[in-house]
A and B are shown apart, each in its own frame.
Chain A
Amino acid sequence: MATDAPIKSEVEIGDYQYGFHDPTDNYAFKSRKGLDAEIVRQISEMKREPQWMTDFRLQSLEIFESRPMPNWGGDMSELDFNNIYYYMKAASEQGRSWDDVPEDIRRTYDRLGIPQAEKQYLAGVKAQYESEVVYGSLQEDLAKQGVLFTDTDTAVQEHPELLREYFGKIIPPGDNKFAALNSAVWSGGSFIYVPKGVKIEFPLQAYFRINSQNMGQFERTLIIVDEGASVHYVEGCTAPTYSSDSLHSAVVEIIVKRGARCRYTTIQNWSNNVYNLVTKRAMAYGDSLMEWVDGNLGSKLTMKYPAIYLMEPGARGETLSIAFAGAGQHQDAGAKMVHCAPNTSSRIISKSISKGGGRSSYRGLVKIAKGAENSKSNVVCDALILDPASRSDTYPYIEVEEQNVAIEHEASVSKIAEEQLFYLMSRGLSEAEASAMIVTGFIEPLVKELPMEYAVEMNRLIELQMEGSVG
C-alpha cells in the first residue's frame, strides 16, 4: 500500500493509506503564510474577480477577525491561524483530460482511484488539489440538457446571475466564525445547477486533496436543484500525514426547489493532522427531499452539523451520519433540522464509533418553528465504544414552538463492546477480526442505504481504520 509512495512523509504513516505527498516546489503560486486584507485581495486579483466578490471577501474577513473562537465543541487551542497557507495553486490551468494534469498530481489521483471510478460509475468529476480544481469533466448529454457542473470560481465568471442570487445567501458570512473565514479566502469547490425536471442518474463526484504541510483548504460549494430535478453529489477528501496541522474549512450551500431531490454524500478521510471545520446547509422547498449522508473518518478534530431548513409544506430532510474517532481524534458531528413550514418531516440517524482513546460526540438540533404544525421528526443515535479509553457524548437539542407535532428521540445508548468482543473471540475470532465484525455490523443499517460502490468504499475505509490500533 504505502510502499510504492513516491515520497514518504517524515512522520510515521501508520495505517492511513493516503498519507503520502507530492513535491511542492514547482507550484504555480503559493501565498505567504498568515491572513490579512492583502492576502485576501491577492486571492481575488489572481482570480480576476468582479468587485462585488472582492468586497464580499473583505467584509467577511472583518467578520472573521471580530468573532471569538467558539468555546464549545472541540479543542482548537492549538490551531494557529498565522501558521497556515491560505492559497496555493499547484497547476497553472484546469485540465479537461487527465493527460493535461501535471504528472505528480495525476499519479496522486490514480492512486486514489478517481479516473477509474469516473469511467465506471460517475456522471462527472471535479478534482481539487490544494486551492484550485485541476481537473473537471461532465458527461456530454448532461451538458446538453443544461446541467452546469464547474468549479465555483469559473461559475463566478460565467454564471454571475445565479451566483449573485444564491452565493452567501444560505450561509451568510456572519453565520459563524468559520463561515466568515471561508467567505474571505474561499477557492474552488463545486457549482452545480440542475435544470427543471432533469434527473441525473449517476453521481457527480468531487475529490478534495490537500498536499502541502500547513495548508488551508477553503472550498465553496453551491448546488441548485431546480423544480422536479434530482442529483446525487459525492465528495471525498484526503490529505498527507504531517506532524503539523492543516485546516479544512468549507462552506456548502444547497437549494432544493419544489419537488426536487438532492443527496449529498461525504466520505471524508482526512489524515490525523487536519482540523475539519465545515458549515453545510440546505434549504428544501415544497415536497422536495434533501439527504445528507455524512461519513466522517480521520481528521484531528471535525466539527460539522449539516443542516436542513424545511421551508415549505411537504419538504423532507434526512441525515445519515457515521463518525469514527480513533486515537488522537475528536469527531464532533451531528445534524440540524429546522422545520419552518407545516407538514414537514425529518429524520436523523447517527452512528458513532470510538476506539483507541478517540472521542466522538453527537450534537444535534431539531427545531420546530411557530406555524410548522403537523411536522414530524425522528432522531436515532447510537454509539459504540470499543475500549474503556475511548469516549462518546450526546448533545441533543430540541426546540419546539408548535403544539401539534410528533418528535421521537431515541437517546443514544453508549455501549462498550467488551462483551461482544469476548463473545466473538471465544469462538476463535482474533481481536482485530472481532472488532471489525462488530463495527461493520454496527454501521450496516446505514451503509446499506448507500449505493453499492460507496458502501464498499465505506466498509473498506472502516476496516482500514480498524486495522490501525489493534495489536
Chain B
Amino acid sequence: MSSVLKISDLHVSVGETPILKGVNIEIRQGEIHALMGPNGSGKSTLAYALAGHPNYHVTDGSIEIDGVNITEMEADERARLGMFLAFQYPVVIPGVKVADFLRHAISNIRNPERKEGEGLIGMREFRKEIRERMDELGMDPEFARRYLNDGFSGGEKKRMEILQMAMLQPRFAILDETDSGLDSDAVRVVSEGLARLSGPQMGVLIITHHERLLEFNPPQFTHVMLGGRIVETGDASLAHDLHANGYATVRQRHPDAAAENARAEQPTTV
C-alpha cells in the first residue's frame, strides 16, 4: 500500500500574522506535484510548516501521513516518519562535519526507535554509501570532511541538500526552489539526481520557478498558490503555461487572492 501525505485546510501563522489560509493537497508516494506561485504567496511557509518549523504555527487544519496526525510533532519525529525538506536557504553549521552529521541522521532515520547514545550505523557501510551517492551527484568526496554548508557556493549547498535526500531516502520530499540560483550545469545535476531518486517510493512536492527541474521530473499535478491559498490545480500543462505566460491571468481569475498576495509582498514594518 502506498503512503499518503494529506494536507487539509491548513492555516499557518508566523507570529500573529496569518500566512496560509486553508491549503488542501494530497500527495501519494510515487507522485510528483509542482507548487508554483509568485513571491510571497506562501510556498516556503507551507514547506516549513510541513517539516515542523517551531515558528510556523498551525492555527487550523491538519497534516497527516497515512491517517496519523503529525501536526503537533517535532521536526525530528516527522523526519523519522519519512518527511524531508530540501531548504531554499540551507543553513550553515560551522564545525560540524558533513559525514558526522549524516551518519547521525541516517542512524536515526533508518532506526526510528534509536535512543541517544545507541550505536550508529557501521562506519564502513556508511562510507561506501556516501561515496557512491556523492559520485552520482558529481561531488568531490572531500566534501564529506568539510563543515556542513560552511563556505559552500550556492550550487554546492543545493547539491548537499540532494545528497542528504539521497542518503535519507524519504517517503515525502519537498524541494523548495532547489533549482534557483544555479548555473545550468548544476540544475542538470540536481534534476537528474532527483529523477534518479524519485520513483514509486517517493512522493515529491517541487517548488520552482524554472522549467528545467520539471522537464526531468514531469509532475502529475501542478498547484498554484496565491495569497496563502491554492487557487488552481492542473496537470503538467499548467506549469508549462505559467512558465510561458506568468501569473497575470491567474491573478485576473482570482482577484481576492491576488490582492492578499500583493499585501504580503509589501515590506513589513516590524
Contacts and interface: CB of A to CB of B under 8 A. Distances in A.
A437 B95 CA distance: 9
B194 interface: no
Interface in A412-471: 418-420, 422-434, 437-438, 440-445
Given A423-B90, A425-B76, A425-B79, A430 B108 contact: yes
Interface string B72-112: 00111011100111010011011110001110111011000
Interface stretch (B14-22, B52-60, B182-190): B52-60
B168 interface: yes
Contacts of A428: 76, 79-80, 104-106, 108-109, 168
B104 A433 contact: yes
Contacts, number: 83
Contacts of A429: 76, 101, 104-105, 108
B51 interface: yes
Q: How large is the interface on A (under 10, 10 to 19, 20 to 34, 35 or more residues)?
A: 20 to 34
Contact of A441 (B76, B80, B87, B95): B95
Contact of B116 (A418, A426, A430, A442): A430
Contact of B91 (A423, A431, A432): A423
Name A's interface SS: helix
A178 B76 CA distance: 48
A190 to B, nearest CB: 33
B40 to A, nearest CB: 20
A214 to B, nearest CB: 37
B91 A420 contact: yes
B87 A423 contact: yes
Nearest to A446: B95
Given A429-B104, A433-B104, A441 B93 contact: yes
Nearest to B149: A423
A438 B95 CA distance: 8
A443 B95 contact: yes
Interface string B142-173: 00000100000000000000001000100000
A349 to B, nearest CB: 13
A438 B93 contact: yes
A395 B106 CA distance: 42
A427 B105 contact: yes
Contacts of A434: 76
B80 A420 contact: no
B95 A444 contact: yes
A420 B93 contact: yes
A430 B95 contact: no
A426 B79 contact: yes
- Going nearest first, the 9 A-B pairs with the smallest beta carbon separation are A441-B95, A444-B95, A441-B96, A423-B91, A428-B79, A428-B108, A425-B75, A427-B105, A425-B76
Interface of A: 418-420, 422-434, 437-438, 440-445
19 contacts: A419-B91, A420-B93, A422-B75, A423-B90, A425-B79, A426-B75, A426-B76, A427-B109, A428-B76, A428-B104, A428-B109, A429-B76, A429-B101, A429-B104, A432-B116, A437-B96, A437-B100, A441-B147, A444-B94
Given A429-B108, A433-B104, 20 more contacts: A418-B54, A419-B91, A422-B51, A422-B75, A422-B91, A425-B79, A427-B102, A427-B109, A428-B106, A428-B108, A430-B76, A430-B108, A433-B116, A434-B76, A437-B93, A437-B101, A441-B94, A441-B96, A441-B147, A444-B94
